[in-house]
């Protein structure tokens, strides 16, 4: 009776509770992850729209201010081109341009050298809003303030179009941080025109810096403005204005993604990207849009942790509620599971006694009309059936042990039928021989035999019975005994096969048959006479040359038709020639993928055996067959007989 080792296992109630809670947890986590992801995406989408709208709003405000400034210089430039304007009218036009527009801090009409007054090289009257609110006047242009070299004068002259200058600090004019809109005007002469100067309008960036600096989004979000060269014009950190650029900040902070975004901003592109904010010292989302008239760009930066603060707070609340729900669910599931499994505990204790071999134990009475009652009744029926089975198996085991013992004896008897002492004829130096048989079962149907029936003639044979097991072993023993008893001087292998076949056909009610290949070797001359009864062709390996299959005479198997006739063939062996007789268990050995060892593989393995002795040949081939099978079950008996003919020279040498 087998004994079961007691192991510690979790109860059914625990496993049921664990399964339900695990499944619920996975479902909850999947839903929570889905909700968290899509909440973030929704917030990100909304924030992107808000940030882009805010950036576009700032851009619109700046562009509106710039467009309102551009109109007056354009009008004055056209007036200067179409009419001959005297100095008092020119001063009046420039004065009125400043006085009529609060957006314009200062304005000027700057002429080419000696273009307005031949006596004066510099002529650039400049009106601006003074600190007291009045419109003040100053004449620009001197050796210390050569406006011909300033960008607001040179760039429109070279480009032949109005432009906004890069922001600068004008010490000679308003003395503040400003940007200048310059509109060129010309002297018209027919279809020709000659550049005479520019009409400028300055705007103060101080108010713009304050306005953009006061923009706030969430808690620490901010906006900034950069010039067409990337310099900061407005930024929450006032120390960066006109002192740093977005590119210098990217290099100092080692932020290549910020450099890429800065390149897009100065190229006039708009977009939305994630980047590390140096000012807020956190991962932030940046929306940016161009200010087309001036070539500037506005950026709006919002820290990510502030964007998703509400999402994280909601997630924490969901997790707390989920944990409370799981705790309540655990208590309910455990209570239900215990109520279900309580009747099973008694049944488990009883079945444990049955497992120990106590088949007389009484099972507990179960009154509930459910699966537990059915299980209890089934266990009781199993207990009774087990008692009967143990009695039957005890008797069967005794019978099996007797059969196994008898099979071992039969195998020993069968193997004793076969020659097993090698070398078999040490007194015969003219040849060497080795054979082996490996059964697929306890006993098999293969056979081999060899013996000297006079001083010069060796008879040998290899056979394979059609069946396996004990019947095949008995048929093999009869065949081998008949063959050895029939052989005598003057008989050929065909004669032997005919007589053996006749005897086997008598009273062969089981219709068994055997294939045989046999031969008689004259060791003094090397002449080999052989015959065949439906067996595999042997391999001939000459001392010089490649191995090949020995042509076999036709012949049916033994034990079928008692009047069958068999044919002899003769071959002359030379010293050093080798022969291998075998059964189909060699060539038909299969691996796990049902691939056969095959005759081609057999010839390939023997190609390098021209100097091998018979034992070495057989052992190497057997190892090759086992390697091919690679652990697959042996499907047939394997038998091999190898013969090495050394010739009369070896015999003469031994005689001397």
Does the pLDDT of residue 433 top 80, yes or no? yes
At residue 130 the predicted structure's pLDDT band, cuts being 50, 70 and 90, is confident
Mean pLDDT of 172-187: 78
Does the pLDDT of residue 655 top 50, yes or no? no
Q: Cα separation of 539 and 583, whole Å?
A: 12
Does the pLDDT of residue 171 top 70, yes or no? no
Helices then strands, counting H and E runs in the chain, come out as 15, 23
State how far Cα 610 lies from the chain centre: 50
Residues belonging to the chain = 656
Which residues are bridge partners to 340 per DSSP?
A: none
Q: Which residues contact 521 (CB under 8 A, 6 or more apart)?
A: 431, 457, 458, 460, 527, 528, 573, 643, 645
> For the stretch 290-302, what's the b/e string if a residue is b when 16 or more beta carbons lie within 10 angstroms of its beta carbon?
bbebbbbbbbbbb
Does the pLDDT of residue 441 top 80, yes or no? no
SS in 3 state form for 587-655?
Answer: HCCECCCCCECCHHHHHHHHCCCCCCCHHHHHHHHHHHHHHHHCCCCCCCCEEEEEEEECCHHHHHHHH
How much is the pLDDT for 204? Answer: 82
Whether the CB-CB separation of 533 and 497 falls below 8 Å is answered with: yes
Structure tokens at 355: 């497992």
Mean pLDDT of 147-158: 90
Does the pLDDT of residue 175 top 80, yes or no? no
Sequential DSSP letters for 92-156: HHHHHHHHT-TT-SEEEEEEPTTTS-TT-S--EEEEEE-TTSSEEEEEE--SSS-GGGSHHHHHH
Q: Cα separation of 444 and 291, whole Å?
A: 99
Does the pLDDT of residue 653 top 70, yes or no? no
Mean pLDDT of 175-185: 84
How much is the pLDDT for 344? Answer: 67
CA-based torsion, 473, 474, 480, 483: positive or negative: negative
Does the pLDDT of residue 1 top 50, yes or no? no
Cβ neighbourhood burial of 559 (10 Å; 0-12, 13-18, 19+): buried
Does the pLDDT of residue 21 top 80, yes or no? no
Q: Cα separation of 597 and 479, whole Å?
A: 28
User: What residue spans of 288-370 are helical by DSSP H?
Assistant: 304-307, 309-355
Does residue 337 or residue 53 have the better pLDDT? 53
Mean pLDDT of 140-166: 89
CB atoms within 10 A of CB 578: 24
Does residue 426 or residue 411 have the better pLDDT? 426
Does the pLDDT of residue 656 top 50, yes or no? no
How much is the pLDDT for 368? Answer: 66
Compute the mean pLDDT over every residue in the chain, rounded to the nearest whole number.
83
Mean pLDDT of 449-461: 93
Mean pLDDT of 275-288: 74
How much is the pLDDT for 7? Answer: 47
How much is the pLDDT for 2? Answer: 45
Of 568, 599, 595, nearest in space to 582 by CA? 599
CB atoms within 10 A of CB 308: 18
Q: Which residues contact 654 (CB under 8 A, 6 or more apart)?
A: 429
pLDDT in tens, 191-237: 788 899 999 998 888 777 777 777 777 777 788 888 888 888 888 88
pLDDT in tens, 501-560: 999 998 888 888 999 999 999 999 999 999 999 999 999 999 888 999 999 999 999 999
Q: Which domains does the chain have, with CATH numbers?
A: 84-204 (3.30.450.20), 208-309 (3.30.450.20), 314-417 (1.10.8.500), 418-655 (3.60.40.10)
Does residue 173 or residue 406 have the better pLDDT? 406
**Most confident of the ranges 333-342, 371-380, 486-495:** 486-495
pLDDT in tens, 64-100: 888 888 888 998 888 888 767 788 888 898 999 988 8
Structure tokens at 18: 């664990």
Which residues are bridge partners to 221 per DSSP?
A: 217
Does the pLDDT of residue 631 top 90, yes or no? no
């Amino acid at each position: 009776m087998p004994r079961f080792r007691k192991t510690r296992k979790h109860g059914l109630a625990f496993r049921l509770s664990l399964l339900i809670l695990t499944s619920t947890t996975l479902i909850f986590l999947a839903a929570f992850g889905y909700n968290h992801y899509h909440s973030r995406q929704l917030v990100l989408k909304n924030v992107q729209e808000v940030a882009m709208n805010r950036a576009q709003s700032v851009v619109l405000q700046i562009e509106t201010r710039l467009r309102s400034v551009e109109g007056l210089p354009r009008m004055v430039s056209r007036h200067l081109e179409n009419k001959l304007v005297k100095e008092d009218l020119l001063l009046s036009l420039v004065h009125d341009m400043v006085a009529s527009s609060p957006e314009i801090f200062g304005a000027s009409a700057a002429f080419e050298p000696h273009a307005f007054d031949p006596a004066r090289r510099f002529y650039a009257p400049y009106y601006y809003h003074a600190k007291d609110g009045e419109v003040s006047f100053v004449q620009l242009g001197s050796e210390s303030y050569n406006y011909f070299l300033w960008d607001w004068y040179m760039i429109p002259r070279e480009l032949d179009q109005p432009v906004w200058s890069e922001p600068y600090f004008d010490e000679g004019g308003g003395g503040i941080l400003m940007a200048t809109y310059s509109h060129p005007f010309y002297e018209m002469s027919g279809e020709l025109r000659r550049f005479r100067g520019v009409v400028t309008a300055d705007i103060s960036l101080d108010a713009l810096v304050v306005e953009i600096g006061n923009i706030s989004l969430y808690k620490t979000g901010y906006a900034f403005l950069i010039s067409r060269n990337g310099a900061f014009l407005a930024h929450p950190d006032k120390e960066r204005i006109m002192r740093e650029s977005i590119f210098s900040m990217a290099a100092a902070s080692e932020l290549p993604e910020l450099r890429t975004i800065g390149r897009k901003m100065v190229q006039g592109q708009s977009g939305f990207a994630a980047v590390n904010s140096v000012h807020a010292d956190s991962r932030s989302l940046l929306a940016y849009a161009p200010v087309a008239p001036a070539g500037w760009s506005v950026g709006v930066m919002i820290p990510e942790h502030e964007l998703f603060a509400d999402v994280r707070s909601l997630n924490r609340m969901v997790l707390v509620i989920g944990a409370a729900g799981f705790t309540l669910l655990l208590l309910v599931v455990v209570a239900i599971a215990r109520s279900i499994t309580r009747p099973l505990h008694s049944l488990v204790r009883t079945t444990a006694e049955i497992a120990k071999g106590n088949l007389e134990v009484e099972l507990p009475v179960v009154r509930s009309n459910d699966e537990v009652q059915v299980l209890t009744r089934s266990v009781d029926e199993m207990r009774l059936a087990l008692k009967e089975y143990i009695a039957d198996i005890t008797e069967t085991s005794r019978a099996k042990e007797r059969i196994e013992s008898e099979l071992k004896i039969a195998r020993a008897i069968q193997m004793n039928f076969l020659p097993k002492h090698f070398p078999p004829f040490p007194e015969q130096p003219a040849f060497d021989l080795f054979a082996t048989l490996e059964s697929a079962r306890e006993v098999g149907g293969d056979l081999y035999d060899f013996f000297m029936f006079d001083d010069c003639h060796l008879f040998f044979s290899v056979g394979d019975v059609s069946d396996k097991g004990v019947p095949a072993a008995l048929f093999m023993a009869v065949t081998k005994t008949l063959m050895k008893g029939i052989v005598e001087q003057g008989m050929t292998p065909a004669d032997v096969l005919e007589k053996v076949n006749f005897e086997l056909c008598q009273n062969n009610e089981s219709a068994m048959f055997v294939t045989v290949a046999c031969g008689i070797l004259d060791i003094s001359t090397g002449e080999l006479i052989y015959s065949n009864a439906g067996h595999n062709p042997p391999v001939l390996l000459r001392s010089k040359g490649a191995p090949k299959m020995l042509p076999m005479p036709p012949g049916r198997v033994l034990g079928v038709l008692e009047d069958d006739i068999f044919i002899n063939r003769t071959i002359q062996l030379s010293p050093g020639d080798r022969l291998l007789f075998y059964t189909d268990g060699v060539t038909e050995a299969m691996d796990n993928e049902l691939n056969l060892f095959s005759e081609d593989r057999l010839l390939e393995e023997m190609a390098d055996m021209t100097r091998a002795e018979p034992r070495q040949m057989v052992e190497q081939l057997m190892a090759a067959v086992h390697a091919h099978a690679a652990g697959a079950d042996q499907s047939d008996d394997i038998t091999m007989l190898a013969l090495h003919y050394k010739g009369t020279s070896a015999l003469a040498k031994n005689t001397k």
